[in-house]
Structure 1
Amino acid sequence: MRRISTEMPANDMRFSMGNRDFRMSEVQKSIGNQSRLNSLRDDPIAASRATRLQSSTFRLNRFDKNIQFARGQYAVTEGYLQESVSIMQRVRELAVQGGHGTYAKEDLQMMAVEVNELLKELVSVGNAVDGESKSLFGGDVTGSRPFTASESRVAGINGTVITNVRYNGSIGEKQAEVSEGTTVSVNIPGNRLFWAEQQQIYSSVNSSGFTVEQDSQITIDGIDIALKAGDSVQDVISKINSSDASVKGSLDPVTNSIVLTSTEPHQIWLDEKADSTVLKDLGLISERGSRPPENLHEDVRVSGGSLFDMVMQLRDNLLKGDYESIGSGGIRGIDSGLNNLMTGLSKLGAMDNRIVMTSSRIGAEIEENTRIYSQAVDVDMTEAALELKMLEVTQKAAYSSASKILQPKLMDFLR
Structure 2
Amino acid sequence: MIEIVAPAGNLKKLKIAVNYGANAVYAGLSQFSLRSRSAKEFNEESFLEGINYAHSKNVKVYATVNGFHTSAQLDGLKRHLKTLERLKPDALIIASVGAMKLAKEFAPSIPIHVSTQANVLNYADAQVYKELGAKRVVLARELSLKDACDIANNCDVELEAFVHGSMCFAYSGRCLISAVQSGRRSNLGSCANDCRFPYELYAKNPENNALFRIEENESGTHIFNSKDLNLAKYIDKIVQSKAISALKIEGRTKSEYYVACAVRTYAKALKDALNNTFNPSEYEAELNTLKSRGFTDGYLINRPYEKDDTQNHITSIMQGAMQVQAISEDGEFFASKGILRVNESYEIFAPNDILIPQCDNEIGKIFCKDGKYFLEFKKLINEKNKEFNELHSGNINLCKSPVKLCEFVFLRS
Output the TM-score relative to the length of structure 2.
0.20
Larger Cα-atom Rg: 1
**Could you say which structure has the higher helix fraction?**
1
**Could you say which structure has the higher strand fraction?**
2
Q: Indicate the structure whose relative CO is greater, using CA pairs within 8 Å and at least 6 residues apart.
A: 1
Output the TM-score relative to the length of structure 1.
0.20
